[in-house]
Structure 1
């Protein structure tokens, strides 16, 4: 028996939506380190190409940027043609595009007697248009790429889809009901699609990142004046058994494991990468 490795990934072609973001970039680095050829998809061609060029300079593999609007099937079809022409048939799809919307976020964590006179700051002030945007980006933005970028997998009767979920899917955070519900839909869809594709050789799994300090959330979880955690940031650490925030690099191992043939008999699961957050009941 040969030693276990990720050498089966060398030369395979992956398209990753949202690949220029913090999480997406770490996934790209992990795949590039084992020789995967990668198309970094983004709604902005300039940012996708810039991210791809920066990553390509670090690794000895081909990485391209391509415009791929996850809510525009025509855009995805065009991207599919470009990727097949420049890199070859697609073997792996990572659905990493996602995000929240201010209109679907409450200003307070809980309703109390003190804030009942400002209903606009509570559940009652949520904007359904904001919900639409969040569900479109996260849920439909996973469905459409899965429809377009898997056609080569059908022909080859082999391939992998990896969806990016969130801790919010398991334990919804206060203030962000739409994002939490949208990510829960990703977990459910991962299971549904895994069953649907199981007999034709396409595996479908997910990763659920825990809490990482990034440029997007730093102002929420850190106190700029003191350099300490904000009250919300401290809550997260207190409820993470490992007692710390994760690093986006912590996703690399789970990513390679789930897209490799090493996990060839695994489909329909979502792995939390969360320092034990999901396992902790708070006491």
Structure 2
């Protein structure tokens, strides 16, 4: 984007591994960055990193799945930084309680056999909450911040999709369902906002490690779990991604010259995962 000193970026989920990296990069490019997330302490750490490098950032604790909470945050952003022109919808994630520990039906999940957690003994309230934060947590910020973008006839929205946006992965039914919805919503919103000169795209990270996924991919002794071995066996580059490897894609999508005719796409940054059947 041109004249970044006058531009404002809002990053939801900014306390997380991937979106904190995006926020730091945007600030380094001259964007004034609003860091939104559930935990203020995590956001403040990112804010301090940005300001230490001479950037401008503010931290706002927010429930991205609540319209009133996001509207309140928008009013603060507008007052302190200005009108949002880049929105990164990165808030979301999974919950361990919403994961099965089996990849197929096991009769033990019906009779309460110890150690079996399948679809039929998941907590549906947790299942629903994962869907809510990942879907409405993208829809509502787009709804709230997108209004100003549409009014100004200028803006870029980037949603964070997933490998689950392309195909369902085992154990993560709720998260997969939600991220498939993000891909569809990205296309829908891109079509809807095109007359307002607001471009909407999504980045689909492959397998990147964060605090939660490390527990899934590594045993306590530091060895890889069977799931990690399976993932890397299907990843031609044979490694997990680094957060910094998303920045090139982000920079292209926010550039009004380089990506001026790009909207409604979901871009995988996955080390080749989607290209490999594992056979």
Change (3 A) 1:265 1:213: same
Comparing 177-186 with 41-50, greater Cα deviation is found at: 41-50
| 1:13 shift after superposition | 0.4
Change (3 A) 1:43 1:213: closer
| 1:112 shift after superposition | 5.3
Point out where structure 2 has 5 or more consecutive residues left out of the alignment: none
Q: 1:123 aligns with which of 119, 122, 132?
A: 119
Provide the residue aligned with 1:106 in structure 2.
100
Point out where structure 1 has 5 or more consecutive residues left out of the alignment: 1-5
Comparing 240-249 with 212-221, greater Cα deviation is found at: 212-221
Provide the residue aligned with 1:196 in structure 2.
192
Structure 2: distance between partners of 1:10 and 1:208: 28
TM-score under structure 1 length normalisation? 0.91
Change (3 A) 1:91 1:132: same
Provide the residue aligned with 1:185 in structure 2.
181
Provide the residue aligned with 2:75 in structure 1.
81
User: Is it true that 1:174 corresponds to 2:174 in the alignment?
Assistant: no
User: Is it true that 1:40 corresponds to 2:35 in the alignment?
Assistant: yes
**Secondary structure of the equivalent of 1:47?**
helix
Q: 1:148 aligns with which of 136, 144, 151?
A: 144
Q: 2:17 aligns with which of 15, 18, 22?
A: 22
Comparing 238-247 with 63-72, greater Cα deviation is found at: 63-72
Change (3 A) 1:116 1:85: closer
**Secondary structure of the equivalent of 1:97?**
coil
CA RMSD of aligned residues (A): 1.9
8 Å Cα contact 1:50-1:65 kept in structure 2: no
Task: Give the total of aligned pairs.
Answer: 276
User: Is it true that 1:157 corresponds to 2:157 in the alignment?
Assistant: no
Structure 1: distance between partners of 2:252 and 2:205: 15
| 1:54 shift after superposition | 2.6
Counterparts of 1:59-74 in structure 2 under 5 Å? Answer: 60-74=54-68
Q: 2:263 aligns with which of 255, 260, 267?
A: 267
User: Is it true that 1:242 corresponds to 2:244 in the alignment?
Assistant: no
8 Å Cα contact 2:24-2:46 kept in structure 1: no
